[in-house]
Amino acid sequence: MRTNTAEAIGLAAGAAADAVLGDPRRGHPVAAFGSAVTAAERRMYADDRAVGVAFTAGWVGAATLTGALLARAGTLGTAAAAFSSLGGTSLCRIGDQIADALDADEIDEARRLVSGLVGRDPSLLDESGICRAAVESIAENTSDAAVGPLIFAAAAGSAGLLGYRAINTLDAMIGYRNARYRDFGWAAARIDDVANLVPARITALAVAVVTRRPAAVWRAVRDDAGAHPSPNAGVVEAAFAGALDIELGGRTVYSHGVEDRPTLGSGRPPNPADLRAAVRLSRRVQRVVAAIAVVIRWRIRR
């Protein structure tokens, strides 16, 4: 079987497994990667940009090499890489669980659940704040946990898939602009910005394709995304805001302080029904992009 055909079948199998099973509760490869990074950071950390560049390059290189080795295992290797890297199904399940908790007036449970998605202080969030935080996270992670891995898999197979997942994980762990990570995490944050430039915009395009409000999506991205501090999160959050006719952004309280984020979209504050609609929108985007990625991987180099 040709390598690209085997990888296309493996990518389809891995995406299907994620759609059915979601993330494993124990022994998740990404969690194991994160634990290894944490252990290495304890030994190697220095408040120095060059050390951070070497640290980031080493882990991304190791993940990319692992992906290349899995590709040599054929369909099963690529399926394993895809299943371990995709996280869109578990993301959507948490979104539904938060909406369920809010519908049952269990706001403390909703705060507990949303704390697993966002870095802001959940104790300060009311129902609308919880919905806004959850929708913003679903929008951003539709790109980071589903579209991004699929795009890199389509372009570079298992090596691209695991390399991208390593970049994204490192950014989530050390890519902060605080005193500890401003220099050490600089490379992780910058490479993540670059790696997500294309996936974020493909996510926004897919949102426009699968929604009934493509013009509203375009307006929100055109008018509002550029004001967001992230070059990529603003694009996908604005796209979701336009598609759902809601407003995202605004005052956000994090553990490190308060940020006054620009508003995205021009609709109403989100409610639990909007959160459920965001989950449905994310699932549609994931399915469309997965199908396209499989076809691209199958056709590439033929």
Q: Quick: pLDDT tens for 190-228.
A: 999 999 999 999 999 999 999 999 999 999 999 999 999
pLDDT tens for 127-161 read: 999 999 999 999 999 999 999 999 999 999 999 99
- Does residue 251 register a pLDDT over 60? yes
pLDDT at 205: 98
The total number of structural domains in the chain stands at 1
**Contact residues for 217 (Cβ-Cβ < 8 A; gap 6+):** 204, 207, 208, 211, 239, 242, 243
Range of the domain at 120: 3-299
pLDDT at 236: 98
Alpha-carbon distance 198 to 164, whole Å? Answer: 12
Average pLDDT over the chain reads 93
Q: Which of 107-111, 119-123, 203-207 has the lowest mean pLDDT?
A: 119-123
**Contact residues for 22 (Cβ-Cβ < 8 A; gap 6+):** 89, 90, 93
What Rg do the C-alpha atoms of the chain give, in angstroms?
Answer: 19
**Confidence band of 189 (pLDDT split at 50, 70, 90):** very high
pLDDT at 167: 97
What distances in angstroms separate CA 126 from CA 106, 121, 279, 281, one per listed residue?
11, 11, 20, 24
- Its pTM stands at 0.93
Read off the pLDDT of each residue in 159-170 and give the average, rounded to a whole number: 96
Residue 269: both structure tokens together: 């504050």
pLDDT tens for 7-65 read: 999 999 999 999 999 887 777 888 899 999 999 999 999 999 999 999 999 999 999 99
pLDDT at 270: 96
